[in-house]
Amino acid sequence: MKKMGERVFFGILWFAVLGVLFLNQAECQPNLTPYQPPGWSDKMVISNVPGTNADSGVLYETDTLYLDYAFFNDGTLATSVKFNAYLYINERRAEIWSVDPPVTTDVYFYVEDFTLKSIGAGTHTLKMVLDPKDVIAETNEGDNEYSRTITIHPASSGKPDLTGEWTSLTQTCKSNKSGLKCKISGTLKIENRGDGDAISTSVDFWLSDDNAWDAGDKWLKRVSTGKIKAGGYKNKKLSYSLPKGETASGKNIIGGIDEDDAVDETDEYNNDIAGPIP
């Protein structure tokens, strides 16, 4: 009985040591979180004046807007691999930054005076997301985001504003001896909601796993929009046959209007129109 008691004791002790080692490993990790540096008015600053870290009082749709944001690694280890930071505007991914290692625990990382594309009049939500792909193992995965709402006031700009909606989008598939063949068909309605005429530009169609364009998405084709008068619209047809054996079920088609920024618009962040494939 004495020897068995020793086995039980050493077994409990070994599990206790393993538990301490596991906790120490979990605690010895980076932790990325948004940060408000001293002298900044917010963790994310939106201004129409460069060279400042304070929010502007009134913003107009004709203003050039500058973004400052910062984050801090308040964990116990520096990052060891590259990760991304995403900016979303109204839940659409608008910008991507790549952050190289190491991000140490004794300094904060920041971006100043990043020039935003034009944002239209109205109320808009801006959200920063650190390490959205979870490539960094962190002590806390729930504090990587920060959001704020801003109001852009209207101004008579004389500029166009191209956006749109999918009025139809379907996939038809046939299976025969040669395999599965699927075809995507749809109509993208491109609208000019601005108060200026839009020159002819292009729209690119992409097949995406989500509702935001990414570098890994499959490019399908490009078509011309033609000129679109203020308040007018054009319907653009999409017809695309997927390679044999491929299906788009559960994915999205993204119509990227004016991807080359040939048109100077009042809102440059409403040009990617996502439509789900049933």
φ/ψ of residue 9, rounded to 5: -60, -50
Separation CA 126–CA 42 (nearest Å): 13
User: Which residue, among 109, 163, 114, 164, has the nearest Cα to 136 in the 3D structure?
Assistant: 109
Calculate mean pLDDT across residues 149-169: 92
Q: How confident is the model at residue 233 (pLDDT cuts 50, 70, 90)?
A: very high
Calculate mean pLDDT across residues 82-110: 94
Asked whether residue 4 carries a pLDDT value surpassing 60, the answer given is no
Residues of the chain with pLDDT > 90, as a percent, come to 78
Asked whether residue 85 carries a pLDDT value surpassing 90, the answer given is yes
Assign domain 31-153 to its CATH architecture. Sandwich (2.60)
Which two structure tokens, joined as six digits, stand for 271? Answer: 């040009």
Asked whether residue 252 carries a pLDDT value surpassing 60, the answer given is yes
Separation CA 102–CA 244 (nearest Å): 44
Same fold, 31-153 and 162-276: yes
Whether the bond between 243 and the residue before it is cis, its omega within 30 degrees of 0, is no
Neighbour-count burial of 197, counting CB atoms closer than 10 A to its CB (0-12 exposed, 13-18 middle, 19+ buried): middle
Domain segments of the chain as ranges: 31-153, 162-276
User: Which residue, among 246, 239, 273, has the nearest Cα to 170 in the 3D structure?
Assistant: 239
14-62 pLDDT, tens digit per residue, is 444 444 444 455 579 999 999 999 999 999 999 999 999 999 988 988 8
- The span from the first CA to the last CA of the chain, in angstroms, equals 68
> Which fold does the domain 162-276 belong to in CATH?
Immunoglobulin-like (2.60.40)
